[in-house]
Amino acid sequence: MVEHQDETRAAYDGIVELYASMFADRLETRPFARAVLGSFAELVRGTGNPRVADVGCGPGHLTALLHDMGLDAFGLDLSPAMVDHARRAHPELRFDEARMEALPVEDGVLGGVLAYYSMIHTPPGELPALLAEQVRVLAPGGLLLVSFFAVDGPEPVRFDHKVTPAYSWPVDRFAELLAEAGLFTVARLVHDPESERGFLDAHLLARLR
C-alpha cells in the first residue's frame, strides 16, 4: 500500500497550482455534483452532528463548500503540497496531512465523510481497508458520500489517469463493498461523463447502519 501511495503523493505534489486552478469554480459548471453534495450536507445536518472529514481534500475547495453549507468540515490529504495550498487558500479551516487507511480522527465521532474521487487511485484489493477506516470514524447513522468513475462489467478497470494510474468501478460492485463495510446505500447518481475519459461519473451516498 505504501509504494503506490508514495507515487500518488509525488504526482499530486507536482501539480498543485494547476490542479487548484482547474477546480477554482467549486463546481459551478457541475450541476449533478452540486446536487449530490447539497443532499449530503442536508442529510448530515439532519443527524445533529455536523462534523465532516473531506478525505482526499486536495486544494480544499470542497471542504470550503461544505463549510459554507453549514458543516463543521475539515480536510485531510496525502499530499503535503495540497495541504499547504489548502491552508493558504482557506486559513479559517483545518487541513492535515493523512493517509486514508490511518485517519487522524477518533472512533465514531463524525457525522459524515466525503470521498470525492479520492479513492480512485487505490488498487481494488486495498479498498476494503479504506472503507473500514471511514466506517471507524463515523458516528452511528453517519453518512459517507463517495464519488468515482463508473464502468460496465463485473470488475474494476485500471486506466491511465492524467495524474497517476486509477481505477473505474462497476457501481453495483462498489455498493457491495459499502455493504460489506457496514454501510447501507441510500442513494446513487450515475450520469454522463464530465471529461473526455468517457467513464460515467458515479456518486453513492451511504449511511452507517
Per DSSP, the three-state class of 47 is coil
Query: What rounded mean pLDDT belongs to the chain?
Result: 91
- Give the least confident one: 10-24, 46-60, 149-163: 10-24
Query: Residue 3 — pLDDT band, cuts 50, 70, 90?
Result: low
Listed in sequence order, the DSSP H helices in the chain are: 2-13, 16-22, 31-46, 61-68, 80-89, 127-137, 171-180
2-208 classified as CATH 3.50.50.60: no
pTM of the predicted model as reported, rounded to 2 decimal places: 0.93
* Separation of alpha carbons 40 and 197, rounded Å: 26
Domain boundaries, the chain: 2-208
